[in-house]
Every structure is written in C-alpha cells, then in structure tokens.
Structure 1
Amino acid sequence: MKLTSAQLTRAASWAAMLMGVLVLLGWQFDLELLKRVHPSFVAMNPVTAACFLLGGLSLQLSAEPQPRTHRVWAQVLAAVVFSAGLLKLAQVFGLLPFNIDQLLFASKIVGYTEPITGKANHMAPTTALNFMLVGGALLALGSKVPARQVFAQVFVALALIITLIPVVGYSYGTSEFYGIGTYIPMALHTAFTFLVLLVGLLTVRPNLGIMQTFTGDSLGGVLARRVLPISLLIPLVLGWLRLEGERLGLYSREIGTSLLVVILITVLSGFLLWYARVLHVSDLQQRFTEQQLLAQTREMTRIAAYSRAIADVSKLLEVDLSPEEAARQTIRTICQVADVEWGSLVQLTSRMGKPWVAAQTEWKTAAVDAETERILTQGVPKGTGMVWVALERGQTLFVDDYEQQVLRVPSFAALGLRSVAFVPLKTSSQTSMLFMLARLHQPRPWTPLDKELLEAAARIMAVSIERQNHLQFMREAALVDVLTGLNNRRAFDMDLEVEMAGAKRHKHSLGVLMIDLDGLKQLNDREGHERGDAYLREFALALKAVFRINDRVYRLGGDEYGVILAHADPERTRSILDRMRKTVELVKQSGFEDADASSGVAFYPKEAELPSDLVRLADERMYEEKRDHHLLRPRISNDTADTVIKE
C-alpha cells in the first residue's frame, strides 16, 4: 500500500516527538539506552530532545487542513525551536554568558562527561544550526503566500546536507565529519531524527516547489522518485564496503578505489540503461496512446461533421423542392464532408433514341480540371460501366480499386479514379437518379462511416422523392375531376385569377363561358347513374374537341362546366355559341339523343373587371337561357309519356 504525503508527514512528526520523549525519559530515569541508543554513541542533550518534541508537534499542527488556533500554536512552537538553535550558536560564538543546553536536567548535565569523547554533554553546533533551519522552515510554512512557503524547502535542503555529513561520518568512522573541533559531535540518533523530521517537512506541502515535481505524475516526478534513492544508497553502500574490505586486508587502497570506481560505473550505467529502456517503452506507449487519441478525435470530428451533414439533408424534407433540386443540394452537402474530389448527380436520359446516363457535376476540387470534368460528365450508354449495374439493380456499389474492375470505363480509369461510389436513389416506382462520388489519384478506401453517410443520405432522398411525388399527386388530385379528367372548380378559380391578372398586365381581353347540362337528373332516374356518368364524360370530351387548344375546359361540379376563353371579346359571342351547339350535336351523335345544355358568356374587361363579377354575369346569362329552354321545350305529361312508351 502506498503512503500518502499526509501520512508520511504525520508519521515523521510522531517519530520526532517519540524520540524526544524517550530521550527525556532516559535523562529523567538515568537510562543510558534511551539517552545514547548504544554505549559507543554520544548521548542526546535534553534540550535537543525537547526541540525535537516541539518541532514534531509544530509539524503536526502545520499539516492542512487545521483550525486557525492550531496554526498559531504551530508558529509559536516553531519560533521556540528557532530561538533555541539561535541562542546555542550565540553561546558558541561567545555572545551569551550561559549555556541554553543546560536548561533541562541541569543537575545531571553539569559535571557530566561523555565516556566516549571525555567532553561535557552539550548541543552540537551543527545541531543548533539545524534547529534554526528547521524552525525557519516551520515558520515559512505558516505564511499564506505560497512563494514564501517555498523557502521552507530551501531551509530543509540545507539542513539535509548538514545532517548527511555526520551520518556519512558515523558510517565510515570519520570523526571529522560528525565533530567540529573541540565541540561534542552530533549524536547518531540526533542525525537520524533530523532526517525523519526533514522528510516530514518536505511532504507537508507536496504541491509546492521541488516537491510538486517529486510527487507529480509527470516523467520528471517518476524519474526523481526512482533515481534519487538509488543515487543516495549505492555510493554510501559501496563506499562502506570498500572501506570494510580494506580494513579486513582483502585488498589494498588502490585496488579498493579501482573496484569502487568500476562497480559504481557498472551499477550506475546498468541502472541508467535499464531506466532508459523503461522510459523508452513508456514513451512508445504514450505515443501509441496519443496516436489512438488523435485518431479517435479525428473520428469523432468526422462523425460530428457527418451528423451535421445528415441533419442538413434531413431539413430538405421540410422544403418544397423538386426531386432533382433536392438531390443536387444533398450531393453538395455530402461532398463537403466526404473527402472526395468529384461528386455528381447521374440521371437517366436518351441519345439518338437509346438509353443513356449523363452526369452533372455538383461538386469538385482543384484536382478536377476542365478536361477531367468533361470526360466524367459525357455519360455512357446502357450496358456500359458500373453505373448501369447500380441503376438497374438499385444496388449501392462502393469500389476501392476502380482501375481493376472488369466493368470500368477506360476513359474514367485513365483519369486516375481510385475509389468510386454509386448510390442509387431508390423509390417505390423507379430508380432514375444516383449519386456518383469519386476519389482520384491516392487510394482512400471507403470506410464504414463513409458508407453509412452515403446510404443514409440516399434513404433520406428516397423519402424526399416519395414525399414530393405524393404531394404532386395530391395537388393534381385536388385540382382534377376524377370522373371526366377535367380540372375542377378549385383549378378554375385559381386559373381565372392568374389569367385575368395576365390579361390586365398585357391589356388583352378574356371570356368566361358557364355551361349547365340539361337532362342529367332525368337520365340518372331513367337509365341509372352509370349512364349519367357516361353522359358527363361524353360532354367533357366534346367540349375539349370543339373549343380551341388554348381555351381551358373545367367541370365545376354536378352538371356544370366552365370554359376560360383566351383572347375572347364580345364580337366573338356568336362563334362561341355556335361551338356550344356543335358540342351538343357531338354528344347526341354519341348516343345521347336528348342531350342539351344552357350557356352564358361574359367578357373582360368590357363587361366585368373582377373574376367574381365575370362569373356572376356569365351565370346570369346561362340561367336566362335555361329558362328560355324550359319555356320552349314541350311538356309531356306522365300519361302521354306512358302512351309513347307503349307504342
């Protein structure tokens, strides 16, 4: 289980306090083991032990998060530790007349002589200097300014160097390293307690200064955590082994030094090469991960672009466009994101009476010059090329090696076509259009995402075409009389508005003929509705046959018809009525001997200037003629009719 920085800080502070308490107990109860750990070591001074206790407690209270009161006490204790070191150094330099290190257990300290050194027990000058640095570091940690807190790590680094010197001296038996002149040396357990406390000071703020690098997840942090312990331990261990071998007489000083150098070179080189390998593998994995991430990012960007394109194509369903225009807008939208050099709409046509397909460029890049476009759009006859396979089978074809295909068009292959997509726009009735997209020169196979995009666009276009066809059918159904095939009353009203606006704009005349078919009800009652429907159809055919091509005939409903007479004026009234009589004669000749009709005509602009006025006037004249027909037509009683039927 890995220890966190906070756990290391707490452990270091408790270890320092525990050491201080144990040494103080040793002085209180004269336990040499607690004072000096080993009979051959120097005893720790009681004031030194007290400073470790206060320093450990200050470190404990400095850890975050802590209440404000705890932080204040931490600063007070840090000031005491700093002051103890400062006063001791002042006494060493003769600036103070008393020994601060005799404040505790003075009766035992005065006259006490170290059996190892023969000197009085005092706080070593290096110990005092370290307490100043430790106190200063603890005071810096209490600052609210992060830049000042970094100074704590500087003080700790200096204290570590001072502490390592006696540790090395004790390890190698070099008294000059742990003693200064005639002063008592730093005790060994004092040095190790400093090491523990200084480690706690480094870990209490792991996100500041050098510790931010050391504890981070970066390559520098990993390198520091792995290399620093090795760089400290290997020279210490090898140096100790070299000295011990020389003391035991295993080799001379020259051989020992040579062996030390060779072993150091071997171990450090091996370690560096191993770690270089680790970093190399890690770098390869990172690059692979970055490439995967980059590929995923590109894929997500492409998916987003494709999704927007599909959304834009879907919006075309809401717009009233012809199928051809909708297809053109779709292919342009798709080509913008599909990484193609050329996109076209291919349609069925004919040349010299033969089926043909012709492509119209809707998208191209700079890679498609004028000659390339000319060849691609010249079209091919039926049975030539893969485009016909896609059209006749209604099957989407994605080709990644066009130049290798048996059904390739040689002139297309010569242009450098590599990947070609043929996407038919299938509907329930037929497939008369398709999208053709091409990638030139460089092989770029169609990905599953490309295929989904094009097929989705084709499906949307098929729905759009079906919708437009349905709307067109509905429009025609709304304007056409099913029985006669003539346009109906709605079409009559719409066309009359348009024709009168055109007549007004171009200053020409216009006529409206209103017609009421006589005898339809009697025919339905006498011979049935099927015979009546035939009568209506025959009358419609006769009207279309008799009136001019540019005259427009309508069935207005029931037995009423209407005709919009282009460029007609009142002077042509007789001619128009003659055409009506001829119409009736044609209907009689078709088997309806009793056929007859009443009609009325009115003219724009001489007689009326509004559509409603024109129709009303023509209706009035039609009904006047209908009344005249009723007056002139002999009335046959039911009895007479029965007699005629019997005869």
Structure 2
Amino acid sequence: MLRIATAWHRPQTGAAFLSEIHTLGQERHGLTWQPLTETAPLFIDQYAEHARALPRWVDLGLQAAAWLPLGDYEGARYLLLVTRLDQAQAWQDGDRALMQAAEQLIQQALDRQTRLQQIKQVASLDPLTQLGNRWAFDAALLQLDSTGQDFAALMLDIDGLKRLNDREGHARGDQLLATFGQLLKREFRLSDEMYRVGGDEVVILLRQPHLPGTAELERRLHAVLSALKAAEFTDIDISVGGAQRGSRAVSAATVIEEADAQMYRVKRQHHGDRSGGHPTQLERRLS
C-alpha cells in the first residue's frame, strides 16, 4: 500500500478531493502505480479521456495530472504527484520545466537526508561489533532521563578476552568481539538497544512495555555463550549484571551503575571459581 502525504494545495481545493488523494495507495489499477515502476515522468493533459482514469476522480473535477518518480530512499519509493482541478488546460512547457525543477530539488533534499542518516549511523556504531558506541549510549541515557521511562539494563563483560589477546593475538580477540556482537543481535530483539561501552563490555537497554523475564534473558545469553564456544572460543565466559529503574526516581546512570556493580560481583565469583556458577546470574528485580 502507498502512503500519501499532501505537501501543498490551493485553499479552495475541496475537502472531498483531498480525502480522495489518501485512497490512492489502495488503487493498484489506477495511474499512480504505473510511474512507480518507471523512471520517466508521466504527464496526462486530459485525465478524463485516459483509459486508466478513475471515474470518481473525474467526478471530483480532475483535469490534468503529472507523476514524477523521485527514486528509492531508505527502502521506500517516492513519487511527486501534481494535479490540476477544474481547469481544462494542458501542461505547458513552462509547467513541465517547473515540476521537473521541483523534482530535482526534492531528490537533492532526499539525497541529503539519506547521507545525513548514513553519517549519523556510522558515527553511532562501534565498527568492530556493529553495536552502538559510547556516544550513542550516552545519547540513549539522556533520552531515558528526559522521559523518565522504566527500563532495565544488562551489563555484559567477556571474561577471557585479555587471555585470548595474549595467547592468540589481537586479531583473534577482534574476531571474538565481532562474533559476540553478531550473536547478540541474533538473540535479542531489534527494539533491544545494545552498546559497546568498553573494551570487553556491552550494555543492553530493555525498555517497557515488554521487559523479558529473568529466565528468558538467561536463555538468550546462554545461547550466545554456547555459540561462542561452538565457534572455538572455548575459554570464554560472560559476566552479567542487571538492574531496573521501575518506579524509582533515579537517573539512568544510576541504573547503569547498579548493573555494573552486580556484573563485577559476578565477575569476581568467576575468578574465584571458574569451574562453577552460572554465567548469567541476574538480579531478581529483572523478573
């Protein structure tokens, strides 16, 4: 289905026609769908006489129409539609030149917006793990503080990265981090925000209204750890700490500090007894 947005219309344009514009996306047999598969503009001087004209548009006074394809941007196809009502007048050369100039300006604006989005995305990503970076993480905390929204935070630390770097080299350690990022994105939802905030530390922000329970979180994290070991990162564990804001009037940074403190308690347990203990011990407040 097409999504229609009206950019401009004359004040005297009837409400019935404006309402009808927004039904275009449902009319696959109408003229609007044709330019979506083409790159050349389509100008119709006498709309009522066209074989694919929609009768109700004719009844509403549509005389001429022009469709100018704008291209694909961020997975969507854009199209500029210009209509002439109650004036039985063909599109003149000047009209066409003006519309094509508008087409170019809109394309330039869309190109610029796409580039800005790409730059923003690159600037907010950690290049190794393809998770969010520290800048993006700090921005997320500011947003959480501005809304006061309930959220939970998981602080993850890879136990064994330094040993791997020392034993097999930093290239192998980079492989571990890249694989870790891929596995986290596979096991967690798109709405779960993941950030690399240190050399071997990752934060996952889980927002309401769909906070998973402790058992589900442990299942996901255990799946990540199992996949790492299957990828021959056998001497690796994951220390995890969790905290939730709930109804408390505390800052997002405080929640992160609580999760971080618990993660270090779990990490010390790992160092004290590497033969036992579950790698994903979470506070009950996450349940």
TM-score, normalization by structure 1: 0.35
Residues 416 and 606 (structure 1), Cα distance of their counterparts in 2 relative to 1, 3 Å cut: closer
**Secondary structure, aligned partner of 1:594:** coil
**Mapped partners of 1:578, 1:408: distance in 2:** 57
Q: Which residue of 1 aligns with 2:109?
A: 464
What CA deviation, in whole Å up to 9, does each residue of 1:163-207 have, x standing for no partner? xxxxxxxxxxxxxxxxxxxxxxxxxxxxxxxxxxxxxxxxxxxxx
**Mapped partners of 1:619, 1:529: distance in 2:** 25
Match status 1:563 vs 2:204: yes
Residues 456 and 550 (structure 1), Cα distance of their counterparts in 2 relative to 1, 3 Å cut: closer
What CA deviation, in whole Å up to 9, does each residue of 1:465-497 have, x standing for no partner? 111122222222222334433322222222233
- Alpha-carbon distance, 1:615 to partner: 3.6
**Mapped partners of 2:29, 2:56: distance in 1:** 16
**Mapped partners of 1:430, 1:359: distance in 2:** 17
**Secondary structure, aligned partner of 2:197:** strand
Match status 1:418 vs 2:59: no
Q: Contact conserved, 1:361 with 1:373, CA < 8 A, in 2? A: no
What CA deviation, in whole Å up to 9, does each residue of 1:135-182 have, x standing for no partner? xxxxxxxxxxxxxxxxxxxxxxxxxxxxxxxxxxxxxxxxxxxxxxxx
**Secondary structure, aligned partner of 1:561:** strand
Amino acid across the alignment from 1:536:
L
Q: Which of 122, 132, 137 pairs up with 1:477?
A: 122
Q: Which of 539, 554, 569 pairs up with 2:180?
A: 539
Residues 394 and 556 (structure 1), Cα distance of their counterparts in 2 relative to 1, 3 Å cut: same
**Mapped partners of 1:528, 1:577: distance in 2:** 30
**Mapped partners of 2:33, 2:95: distance in 1:** 22
Identity value in percent = 33
Q: Which residue of 2 aligns with 1:597?
A: 238
Q: Which residue of 1 aligns with 2:158?
A: 517
Amino acid across the alignment from 2:205:
I
Amino acid across the alignment from 1:497:
L
Match status 1:496 vs 2:141: yes
Q: Contact conserved, 1:511 with 1:566, CA < 8 A, in 2? A: yes
What CA deviation, in whole Å up to 9, does each residue of 1:488-545 have, x standing for no partner? 2222222233334544xx6x6x543322212224434544555434422443355456
**Secondary structure, aligned partner of 2:232:** coil
Larger mean Cα displacement after TM superposition, 458-467 or 405-414: 405-414
Find runs of 4+ consecutive structure 1 residues off by over 6 angstroms. 428-431, 545-550, 572-579, 605-608
Alignment of 1:13-412 (within 5 A): 349=1, 362-364=8-10, 366=12, 368=14, 370=16, 372=17, 377-379=22-24, 381-382=27-28, 384-385=30-31, 387-412=32-57
**Secondary structure, aligned partner of 1:432:** strand
Match status 1:445 vs 2:90: yes
Amino acid across the alignment from 2:234:
E
Residues 551 and 406 (structure 1), Cα distance of their counterparts in 2 relative to 1, 3 Å cut: closer
**Secondary structure, aligned partner of 1:395:** coil
Residues 551 and 453 (structure 1), Cα distance of their counterparts in 2 relative to 1, 3 Å cut: closer
Higher RCO by CA contacts (8 Å cutoff, separation 6 or greater): 2
Amino acid across the alignment from 1:395:
A
Amino acid across the alignment from 2:173:
G
Q: Which residue of 1 aligns with 2:195?
A: 554
* Long gaps (5+) in structure 2: 276-287
**Mapped partners of 1:361, 1:517: distance in 2:** 51
Equivalent pairs counted in the alignment come to: 270
- Alpha-carbon distance, 1:397 to partner: 3.0
**Mapped partners of 1:411, 1:548: distance in 2:** 45
Q: Which residue of 2 aligns with 1:454?
A: 99
Residues 408 and 501 (structure 1), Cα distance of their counterparts in 2 relative to 1, 3 Å cut: closer
Higher strand share: 2
Residues 398 and 551 (structure 1), Cα distance of their counterparts in 2 relative to 1, 3 Å cut: closer
Q: Contact conserved, 1:357 with 1:382, CA < 8 A, in 2? A: no
Residues 522 and 466 (structure 1), Cα distance of their counterparts in 2 relative to 1, 3 Å cut: same
**Secondary structure, aligned partner of 1:425:** strand
What CA deviation, in whole Å up to 9, does each residue of 1:191-233 have, x standing for no partner? xxxxxxxxxxxxxxxxxxxxxxxxxxxxxxxxxxxxxxxxxxx
Higher helix share: 1
**Mapped partners of 1:610, 1:601: distance in 2:** 15
Match status 1:432 vs 2:77: yes
- Alpha-carbon distance, 1:562 to partner: 1.3
**Mapped partners of 1:623, 1:584: distance in 2:** 18
- Alpha-carbon distance, 1:595 to partner: 1.1
